[in-house]
Amino acid sequence: MSLDVVQKLERENISLASFSKRIYAYCIDEVLISILFLIIYWNAFETAKSYEEIMMLVSNFVWQIITLKIIYQTFFTWYYGASIGKIAVKITCIDVEILDKPNFIASLSRAFMRAFGETCLYLGFAWAFGNIARQTWHDKTAKTVVIDVA
């Protein structure tokens, strides 16, 4: 399947995003999500008096963090085809069948599998190193690839 995807992209003169661009986009998104999380839960963190209390708060808010990531990734992938981090580094996510941004269900599926891949010691991301289409678990599940737009 991966070879078919790559051949289809080559026929359309579309190039896959590099690993470095995907890593930069991931870092940008994580910073933005962290800032958003901190803004939402500022009152809870403001009362913390020590590093241990802050770490305890973060561990208590794990499901809220995961939910925020899923909402963020779903919305931006569905609406724009790219998260803010991807937009910043000029890459986008496309459905391999229609070569356009994924629909809502594919975006939601991709976001859930991305969160799952993170919780599995990032093995879902490492999967991209083992296939020619550079697809992670979340890309495989949603039938998407990440491409260059610049």
Local structure of 117: helix, strand or coil: helix
* Letter string b/e over residues 94-112, b meaning 16 or more CB atoms within 10 A of that residue's CB: bbbeeeebbeeebbbbbbb
Beta-carbon contacts of 92 under 8 Å, excluding residues fewer than 6 positions away, are: 80, 81, 82, 86, 101, 146, 147, 149
Structure tokens at 72: 């963020």
Q: What are phi and psi of 132, to 5 degrees?
A: -70, -25
Please give the model's pTM, rounded to 2 decimal places. 0.92
**36-92: pLDDT as tens digits:** 999 999 998 888 889 999 899 889 999 999 999 999 999 999 999 999 999 999 999
